Structure formats: structure tokens, C-alpha cells
Amino acid sequence: MTINGHKITAKQFAWDGCHKIYLINTRKDKRIFLEYGYDLFPIDELEKAYANSCSLRFIENGDLSDVVGQFETAVFEDK
């Protein structure tokens, strides 16, 4: 999967159920986001979660680097 030209290798993502989406790329990411109280989801649910997020939505890697910034449109492609 690619999103806005970024190749996504994460198998899970953390989502607050509103607009904050973080890709879980490492065990450390997973531990941190679980400690913060986020729910984790399989990556195949990412596009649906993004579509169901509020207009403030964004997607970042677990290290907080941008994949899709706030108010940008996410383009999902299977590759």
C-alpha cells in the first residue's frame, strides 16, 4: 500500500477514533501507543478509519513524521 507516495509497511495503526492516526512500525511504537491508551487496528482497516475520521484527520508514523498532514487529502493505492 502507498499513501500519497509513501510506501506503508506497517501492519497496524493506532487511532483515537476521531482524527489522530499513527502507523505502528516498531515494537516501541506499539508499546508507546498502548500506554497512551490508543486502540490498535490491522492496517487493512486504515482507509476505512481515515474515511470515518473528522476533518482534522492526519496520518503520521509512530515517530511522528508526516504521511498525510492535517487538511491534506490522502490518496490510497495498492502496489
Single pTM value for the model: 0.95
The number of beta carbons lying within 10 Å of the beta carbon of residue 32 is 16
Q: Which helix (H) or strand (E) is 68 found in, with range?
A: strand 66-68
The number of beta carbons lying within 10 Å of the beta carbon of residue 10 is 19
Which of the four pLDDT bands, split at 50, 70 and 90, describes residue 79? low
pLDDT per residue as tens digits for the range 34-74: 999 999 999 999 999 999 999 999 999 999 999 999 999 99
The number of beta carbons lying within 10 Å of the beta carbon of residue 62 is 20
pLDDT per residue as tens digits for the range 2-24: 999 999 999 999 999 999 999 99
* Distance, CA of 50 to CA of 19 (rounded, Å): 8
